[in-house]
A = this chain, B = another copy of it.
């Protein structure tokens, strides 16, 4: 497997089960059993998916009695988004217009400061 963080993140996201787990975690912490509940899959399989997400830094886990609550960590998502940004002009039709607009805003704010 790749060792660079960006590849690890992309690879962790390349699975619908793992993306669904992240979606669940975006609504708050959850235990492994709670995360596993919607899936027709054994608990060890879920545990493995979690480890993939954890290794990618997308999930961290605490300790609460016999539970190991998982929570979303968005750092890697930020890196992915930053990578995506360089391609925005290829898919965002309004990018050029928005870009112009933001430049205008910045310009305006700068003259407001003065």
Contact = CB atoms under 8 A, between A and B. Distances in A.
A10 B13 contact: yes
Specify how many copies of this chain sit in the oligomer.
Answer: 2
Interface string A78-98: 101101101110111000000
From DSSP, what is the main secondary structure of chain A's interface residues?
Answer: helix
Contact of A74 (B2, B7, B15, B91): B91
Most buried by B among A14, A77, A81: A14
| Closest 6 pairs between A and B when the two form their complex, measured CB to CB | A74-B90, A10-B14, A11-B14, A78-B91, A74-B91, A10-B13
Interface of A: 2, 4, 6-8, 10-11, 13-16, 19, 22-23, 26, 72, 74-75, 77-78, 80-81, 83-84, 86-88, 90-92
